[in-house]
């Protein structure tokens, strides 16, 4: 496994803390892998795959104790994951996991990540993933909506609707000018 996990911040921290909840969500669907190692492997590959600005958004929205994982580790710094197979291989190699388990690993970690980030950041990430991985990312969001969603509506969509309601109406003549 790549050296990436901060051993001074173990995942079994204070009960009820954000990182403990994050790891509990992973453990729920992935009991056969240590949740901190699964998160480390997936977040490393994810950080390598998305653009710098989106990776920065991801880091800023994760709980502080988990941010160190959302950066490419030394094992993957020079090997961007372009397609699904390379992405899966990066996670499998990082975690020393059976390749047949990678989709389950991705799903568990993606779900926990999305419970901690905004819908806008989740959509930015989805737009930069290979199609096969995007489907896993989207499915993970449907399983566990994040706290940033209100009554089934994404927060930012609600904000856009509110802006539309308060914005002056534009006529066809206004649009032509």
pLDDT (tens digit, 9 = 90+) per residue, 13-64? Answer: 443 477 889 999 999 989 999 999 999 999 988 988 888 899 899 999 998 8
CATH second-level architecture of 18-176? Orthogonal Bundle (1.10)
pTM, two decimals, is 0.71
**Residue ranges covered by each domain of the chain:** 18-176
**Confidence grade of residue 126 (pLDDT, cut at 50, 70, 90):** very high
Averaged pLDDT of the chain:
75
What is the pLDDT averaged over residues 96-118? Answer: 93
pLDDT of residue 159: 40
pLDDT at 80: 55
Tell me the residue ranges of DSSP E strands in the chain: 149-150, 153-154
State whether the Cα torsion 35-46-86-138 is positive or negative. Answer: positive
9/73 Cα distance (integer angstroms): 17
Asked if pLDDT for residue 11 goes beyond 50, the answer is no
């Amino acid at each position: 496994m790549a050296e990436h996990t901060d051993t001074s911040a173990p995942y079994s921290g204070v009960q009820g803390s954000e990182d403990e909840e994050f790891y509990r969500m992973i453990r729920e669907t992935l009991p056969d892998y240590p949740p901190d190692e699964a998160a480390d492997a997936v977040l490393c590959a994810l950080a390598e795959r998305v653009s710098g600005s989106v990776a920065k958004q991801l880091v800023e929205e994760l709980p502080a104790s988990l941010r160190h994982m959302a950066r490419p580790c030394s094992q993957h710094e020079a090997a961007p994951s372009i397609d699904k197979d390379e992405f899966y291989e990066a996670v499998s190699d990082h975690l020393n996991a059976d390749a047949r388990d990678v989709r389950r690993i991705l799903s568990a970690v993606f779900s926990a990540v999305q419970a901690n980030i905004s819908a806008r950041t989740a959509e930015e990430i989805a737009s930069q993933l290979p199609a096969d991985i995007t489907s896993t990312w989207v499915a993970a969001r449907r399983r566990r909506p994040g706290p940033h969603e209100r009554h089934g509506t994404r927060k930012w969509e609600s904000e856009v609707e509110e802006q539309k309601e308060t914005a002056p109406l534009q006529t066809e003549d206004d649009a032509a000018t």
